[in-house]
Amino acid sequence: MAPGARFALAAVLSAVGFVLTYVMLIRTAAGQEIENLALRGARQEFEDLKASSLAELQEISMAAFAIAIVLVMAVALLRRKPILAATTALVMGSSVVLAEVLKHFLPRPELVAAPPGWLNNSFPSGHVTVAVAIGIGAVLVAPYALRWLVAIGAALYAAGIGMDVATAGWHRLSGAIGATLLVLAVASIALLLMTRFDRVQRFDGRRLVGAITATLALGVVSLGLGGVGVVSGFGRLLPVPLEPTPSDQLLAYSSTLLTAAGVIALAFLAFLWLIRPYRIDEGVPSAREHPDTFAVTSTASTKERFSRSA
């Protein structure tokens, strides 16, 4: 598949997943019931764990996000990739701005009875959007050989934030999933545009070691945690009991944590494989980077000029 078609398909699938998440978990009574059950379970959590989650979430501010954008751009500029620096900053910034805008156009209707204020959980989660945007930006600007390592660290960080917002009761599972898919869609569109301007090149020197390592690491998180959350957690709670017990509430809450972490890890793994065949913003190879290719090209050009003069 051509890179343009590859990135376009990724953007469409991410956007469709975003819409389905909103429709199934927010616009249906069953979705609201299961998420409300998880919120009640979060209220049973230990206070020290909540305090730890709140402390981590408070570190995410617009100033901190701006610093992250500057650092990501600095990495790209040190690698002499100004177009990649600007594009990655645009992906990160526009993802967060778009998340804030969408919050006002994607309301949570009151389909089931809930305590006052529970409809205020916005969609998508701004904090998870920031965390995922920072991670995707770091993966984009990382040297090819280090992408897999950066992807693992970024996925674990974003997954932790996704669990924090659920523990603090700030957002629901839908908010974490929606934020992740939103960033993936924006990043895929940006890569599609870069492809149109010939800034994405196929890389034939890639190896499977890093990709396999990341697949195993993130696969354990996505399938191990996410699979348990969906099958053993939500699978046992659907349909939602008419009179759920405190144990049911805790199960819904723990399933939310596991599923959010699994989905975020899976998203980073999918993005890693999406860009694996390509180097981004490499430009035209120089003689220093590819001396053999340059020598062959120069020799061919010399022969062509000699034959013309003859």
Place of tokens 């909540």: 50
Task: Give residue 46's identity as a one-letter amino acid code.
Answer: F
Whether cis (ω within 30° of 0) applies to the bond prior to 239 is yes
What local confidence, expressed as pLDDT, does residue 283 receive? 55
Q: How many CB atoms lie within 10 A of CB 212?
A: 12
What local confidence, expressed as pLDDT, does residue 48 receive? 67
What's this model's pTM, rounded to 2 decimal places? Answer: 0.86
Each residue of 167-185: pLDDT tens digit?
A: 887 888 999 999 999 999 9
CA gap 57, 45 in Å, rounded: 17
* C-beta separation of 174 from 31 below 8 A: yes
* C-beta separation of 21 from 181 below 8 A: yes
* C-beta separation of 123 from 111 below 8 A: no
What local confidence, expressed as pLDDT, does residue 292 receive? 41
Q: Domain boundaries in the chain?
A: 3-309
- Residues in the chain where the model's pLDDT stays below 70: 45-48, 283-310
What local confidence, expressed as pLDDT, does residue 289 receive? 40
CA gap 300, 298 in Å, rounded: 5
* C-beta separation of 183 from 129 below 8 A: yes
Place of tokens 């376009």: 8
What local confidence, expressed as pLDDT, does residue 75 receive? 96
Each residue of 219-261: pLDDT tens digit?
A: 988 888 888 888 877 888 888 888 888 888 888 888 899 999 9
What local confidence, expressed as pLDDT, does residue 45 receive? 65
